[in-house]
Amino acid sequence: MRKIIHVDMDAFFAAVEQRNHPELKGKPVIVGGDPDKRGVVSTCSYEARKFGIHSAMASSLARKLCPQAIFIKSNFSDYREVSNQIREIFFEYTDLVEPLSLDEAYLDVTENKFNIKSATIIAEEIRTKVFQKTQLTCSAGVSFNKFLAKVASDINKPNGICVVTPAEASDFINKLPIRKFYGVGKATEKHMKELGIHYGKDLKLFSLEDLVYHFGKSGFYYYKIAHGEDDRPVQTHYERKSLGKERTYAEDILDKELIESKLIEISDKVFDQLTARNLFGNCITIKVKYYNFTQITRSRSFGYLVSEREKLSEVCLSLLQDTEYGRIPIRLLGVSVSGFDLKRELLTEELPKQLYFDFGDDF
C-alpha cells in the first residue's frame, strides 16, 4: 500500500503578501483583481474569509462584504520563488513529487530518501522545514492514495495535518460532506443533493450503474472514491492536456465585430504559445461568459491536428455562431486547444471525422 502526502500552502498568495508586508498581518487581505475594474479574487487571507470572501468571487462583491479589506495586486515572481523553495524541501524526501499548482503537490513517500517508515513524521518534518525556510504555514493530508490525501489536507487547514489510515478510511468517507470530494463542484453537488446524497455514506448506497446513469463517465470516479479507491500514481512527468487563454473585459461587449476581433486576438495568442511549445491539437474549445456570469463552452474536434493560425481562428469564429453573442452582453472570452496526442502524420490529413459536442461547465 502506498504512502501519499498532499501538501498545500495556506492562503498562499495572501500569506506571501502578509509576510512581505508585515503591516498586513492580521488584516483582511485580498489578492487579485481591482474591484473597480471587474476583477476577481485570486485568494484572500483567513481574516478576509470570515466575511465570506473566497477565490473567484467578483472583487466588487468582496469589497461590499468587507469594505475595510486591503486589495493587493498579485506578484507572481514572489509566489514562484516560494514555490521553488517548498519543492526543494519535498525533493529532500522523495523524487516522486507531483506539483498540482504553485502551492500544492502530491508526494509518494512509500520509499523515501531517509527510510522513514511513518509518512506522518515526514509530513510534520516538511511542514516544519517549510515554515523555517519561508515563514509560511502549510497543511498536509496523509493517506494511502491521492484522493484521500488531498481531501485530508483541507480538513485541519490552516497550519494543520490530517492522517487517514486504511482502518479509518471508511468512517472518514462516511462523514465527508460531498462538496469536499475532490471533483464535485457546485453543479454536481446540487445534483447529488437532489438524489439525497449529502455525505459519503449516502454516495456509497449507489451502485456503479446508478452513478454512471446519473453522472455519466464521472460516475466511475465517484463510485471508486466513495469506496476509498484511487490507484492513480503520483505522476512526476505531467503531460499537458490542453492549452488555453481567457480574457475578462473591463466592460461587457455586445458589438459583434468587436467580439469577433477579441476572440481572434485570443486565438492568435493561443496559437503563438502552441507554436512555441511545438504543440498542435485536434480539439478546439471556446468559452463565453455572459454579463450575468452564466457560461457556455462550444467545441469541435477534427480527425487531424490543427496547425494553422487561420484555421484556429476560423474554427473559433464558427463556434461563436452557436452562442448568444450580439444578443447577450459578454464579459469573458476564452479559447483552448486540446487533443495533443494524435499522431503527427495526421497533421495535414483532411477531415475524415468531425465531432461536435458541448462540454457544459468543464472547460
Active site residues: 104
Which residues ranging from 243 to 282 are in contact with ligand TTP (CB under 6 A)?
none
CB atoms under 10 Å from CB of 24, counted, come to: 18
Which residues ranging from 280 to 339 are in contact with Mg ion (CB under 5 A)?
none
Minimal distance, residue 126 CB to ligand TTP, in Å: 16
Q: Of the candidates 4, 6, 12, 149, which one interacts with Mg ion according to CB under 5 A?
A: 12
Q: Of the candidates 18, 42, 323, 336, which one interacts with ligand TTP according to CB under 6 A?
A: 42
For residue 303, state whether it binds ligand TTP (rule: CB under 6 A). no
For residue 9, state whether it binds Mg ion (rule: CB under 5 A). yes
Q: Of the candidates 8, 47, 98, 230, which one interacts with ligand TTP according to CB under 6 A?
A: 8
- The residues pairing with 163 across neighbouring beta strands, listed in sequence order, are 142
Is residue 228 a contact partner of residue 254, using CB atoms and an 8 Å limit?
A: no
- The residues pairing with 9 across neighbouring beta strands, listed in sequence order, are 138
CA atoms within 13 A on the CB side of 338: 13
- Whichever of 24 and 312 has its CB closer to Mg ion, that residue is 24
DSSP result, 152-209? HHHHT-SS-EEE--HHHHHHHHHT-BGGGSTT--HHHHHHHHHTT--BHHHHTTS-HH
Minimal distance, residue 155 CB to ligand TTP, in Å: 12
Minimal distance, residue 320 CB to Mg ion, in Å: 35
- Whichever of 102 and 319 has its CB closer to ligand TTP, that residue is 102
For residue 10, state whether it binds ligand TTP (rule: CB under 6 A). yes
Which residues ranging from 80 to 109 are in contact with ligand TTP (CB under 6 A)?
101, 103-104
For residue 230, state whether it binds ligand TTP (rule: CB under 6 A). no
**Among candidate residues 329, 323, 311, 322, the one with its CA nearest the CA of residue 337:** 311
CB atoms under 10 Å from CB of 42, counted, come to: 19
CA dihedral (274, 339, 222, 143) positive or negative: negative
- Rounded to 10 deg, the angle between the 166-174 and 146-155 helix axes is 60
Binding residues for Mg ion (CB under 5 A): 8-9, 12, 103
Binding residues for ligand TTP (CB under 6 A): 8-13, 42-43, 55-56, 101, 103-104, 157-158
